[in-house]
Structure 1
């Protein structure tokens, strides 16, 4: 499912039974009423109340940014090239 432009996300707090709304799917998410951590709760479309499955896609996208493209001894490899 592609991300819709201008979508508002909803999460339901099971501690105070109140909805919480946000326009961002990243970062921590605290209930504004009771401060319960809703970060790992499922996302819902605030208008249609349909569950949105973005958690897996987001984790996969974030994992892509964790790749290391240089070896740990990158600086010593550069020195070997110039000293050779």
Structure 2
């Protein structure tokens, strides 16, 4: 059974990027090397700020969409709750 993740990385400019993956560590490395999403390419280095685990891709994708609709303040609270 696959594990699905939604993650938030903080970019070097302080902005957040939210994504979906089945391998968080690999995906963060890709972003850090400039091989990830176009948004993060000029904003390295990046740092993993938050992640959530799901048993299905559809649940993870729904949560990714939900997070992407959040305000900056809501995302900051989500990241702070992680620590």
TM class by smaller structure? 0.3 to 0.5
Query: Greater share of strand residues, 1 or 2?
Result: 2
Report which structure shows greater RCO (CA 8 Å, sep ≥6).
2
Q: What TM-score comes out, normalization by structure 2 length?
A: 0.35
Q: What TM-score comes out, normalization by structure 1 length?
A: 0.35
Structure with bigger gyration radius: 1
